């Protein structure tokens, strides 16, 4: 049975209502009631983007709740524990602080504000959010780029949002065969290390994990460009100028320093006093299209890989890791999120945006249709098998709502 578009929208609205929580004057949406009962940074942005299509007032509330816990140094934490809720044991993570976590996630805030503005033209809301976005950006260049390279580093795989991606295996110093439990333990050790370092990155870059992650830097780049546009409209010339200047610097740095052996883009990491390229093919490859950084030739090459069954062409969307990678793995699915092959709606959404940006509408439509088929077949799940469409991980997971924006 196929869902009509109206039926799908209805299901998404219903899920979002079920996952909405209110604490005092704030309301926010949890990613999944059994598994993820708090507010997460990039999840909230995905949800605001989704809600910009049917509930703008709530989309704004979502972001207001998110920025209400912004740190003084501008960082927005990746989790806000609004209220105590029992979670499964493996999620009882102490992320270094009491009411929030101590790390961040990809800065999709400007993207979400831009979508809301496109839906209702409320420039006052843009003005309300701009200082938060600007301070968040300034945090990255001040605290996460101590050598002024134009590229910002992440201090834990969880900051990328792709907790278990093989892009971080080497940085975690995990040997060739390890269990997800070991991966998890290594990530938790990092939280401890950084807590001991009081989260001061300067002079601590020899610590284990300093990865200049490609998707993260691409999201930041796009965030700066969106901010420049919004700040221009809001008459905030200084903010617009600052954003453009930093966008220019970062896009040049990505071009110069993040190029893999195969000529495509890649993440890099510190290893002792060396800077290494991370030559592992993941969906990150396509992020320069999302950020508008790729040339048309590069985009063409990327789309070629996306439509090649030896790499990324499967029945249901784009797998998070190329099927030819030794780390490609669809087996390990519970209780940890698997970013080593399964399809996720958040990555599908970013890839679809990149495809449209470069005029690949047919491919973007196909990705949207495949994403809808996943929901029809397996419901709103955290991630999916790219060959069978089987759903895994959390249930009632909100990211599926993004199909409304695809």
State the residues that interact with ligand GLC by CB under 6 A: 31, 36, 40, 42-43, 161, 163, 337
Write out the two tokens for 237: 């010339």
Question: Which residue, 43 or 222, is less far from ligand GLC as judged by CB?
Answer: 43
Identify the three-state secondary structure at position 382: strand
Question: Which residue, 33 or 301, is less far from ligand GLC as judged by CB?
Answer: 33
Question: Which residue, 36 or 216, is less far from ligand GLC as judged by CB?
Answer: 36
On the question of a cis peptide bond just before residue 242, with omega within 30 degrees of 0, the verdict is no
Question: Which residue, 163 or 222, is less far from ligand GLC as judged by CB?
Answer: 163
Question: Which residue, 79 or 253, is less far from ligand GLC as judged by CB?
Answer: 79
Question: Which residue, 239 or 280, is less far from ligand GLC as judged by CB?
Answer: 280
Question: Which residue, 40 or 117, is less far from ligand GLC as judged by CB?
Answer: 40
- Least CB distance from residue 264 to ligand GLC, whole Å? 24
- Least CB distance from residue 143 to ligand GLC, whole Å? 21
Element (H, E) at 243: helix 237-257
C-alpha count within 13 angstroms, C-beta hemisphere, residue 170: 15
Distance between CA atoms of 65 and 62, rounded to whole angstroms? 5
- Least CB distance from residue 184 to ligand GLC, whole Å? 11
Strand 391-395 with 381-384, pairing? antiparallel
- Least CB distance from residue 156 to ligand GLC, whole Å? 12
Return the beta strands (E) in 47-185 as ranges: 79-80
- Least CB distance from residue 179 to ligand GLC, whole Å? 17
- Least CB distance from residue 17 to ligand GLC, whole Å? 18
Q: Output Rg (C-alpha) for the chain, integer angstroms.
A: 20
Write out the two tokens for 243: 């954003």
Distance between CA atoms of 191 and 31, rounded to whole angstroms? 23
Distance between CA atoms of 156 and 189, rounded to whole angstroms? 10
Point out the residue whose Cβ comes nearest to ligand GLC: 31
How many beta carbons lie within 10 A of that of residue 149, not counting itself?
A: 16
- Least CB distance from residue 42 to ligand GLC, whole Å? 6
Element (H, E) at 8: helix 5-18
Kindly provide the b/e burial profile for residues 185-211, where b requires at least 16 CB atoms within 10 angstroms of the residue's own CB. Answer: ebbeebbeebeeeebebeebeeebbbb
- Least CB distance from residue 277 to ligand GLC, whole Å? 24
Question: Which residue, 179 or 307, is less far from ligand GLC as judged by CB?
Answer: 179
Q: Rounded to the nearest 10 degrees, what angle do helices 56-67 and 41-51 cross at?
A: 160
| 395, 34 Cβ separation under 8 angstroms | yes
């Amino acid at each position: 049975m196929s869902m009509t578009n109206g039926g799908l929208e209805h299901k998404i609205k219903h899920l979002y209502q079920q996952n909405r929580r209110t604490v005092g004057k704030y309301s926010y949406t949890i990613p999944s009631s059994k598994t993820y009962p708090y507010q997460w940074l990039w999840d909230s942005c995905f949800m605001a983007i989704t809600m910009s299509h049917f509930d703008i007032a709530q989309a704004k509330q979502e972001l207001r709740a998110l920025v209400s816990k912004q740190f003084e140094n501008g960082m927005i934490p990746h989790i806000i524990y609004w209220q105590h809720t029992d979670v499964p044991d493996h999620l009882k993570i102490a992320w270094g602080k009491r009411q929030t976590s101590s790390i961040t996630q990809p800065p999709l805030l400007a993207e979400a504000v831009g979508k809301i503005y496109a839906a209702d033209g409320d420039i006052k809301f843009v003005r309300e959010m701009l200082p938060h976005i600007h301070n968040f950006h300034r945090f990255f260049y001040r605290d996460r780029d101590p050598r002024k390279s134009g590229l910002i580093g992440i201090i834990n795989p969880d900051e990328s949002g792709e907790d278990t991606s093989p892009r971080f295996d080497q940085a975690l110093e995990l040997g060739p065969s390890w269990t997800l439990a070991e991966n998890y333990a290594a990530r938790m050790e990092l939280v401890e290390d950084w807590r001991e370092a009081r989260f001061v990155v300067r002079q601590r870059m020899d610590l284990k994990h300093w990865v200049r992650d490609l998707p993260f830097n691409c999201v930041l780049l796009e965030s700066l460009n969106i901010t420049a546009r919004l700040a221009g409209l809001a008459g905030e010339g200084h903010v617009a100028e600052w954003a453009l200047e930093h966008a220019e610097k970062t896009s040049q740095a990505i071009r110069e320093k993040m190029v893999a052996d195969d000529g495509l883009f890649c993440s890099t990491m510190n290893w002792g006093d060396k800077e290494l390229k991370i030559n592992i093919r993941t969906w990150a490859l396509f992020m320069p299209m999302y950020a508008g950084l790729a040339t048309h030739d590069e985009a063409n090459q990327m789309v070629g890989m996306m439509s090649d069954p030896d790499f990324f062409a499967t029945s249901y969307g784009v797998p998070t890791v190329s099927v030819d990678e030794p780390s490609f793995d669809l087996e390990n699915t519970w209780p940890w999120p698997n970013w080593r092959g399964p399809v996720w709606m958040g990555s599908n959404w970013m890839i679809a945006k990149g495809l449209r940006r470069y005029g690949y509408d047919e491919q973007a439509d196909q990705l949207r249709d495949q994403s809808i088929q996943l929901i029809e077949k397996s419901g709103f799940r955290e991630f999916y098998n790219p060959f069978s469409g089987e759903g895994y991980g959390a249930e009632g997971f909100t990211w599926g709502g993004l199909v409304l924006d695809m």
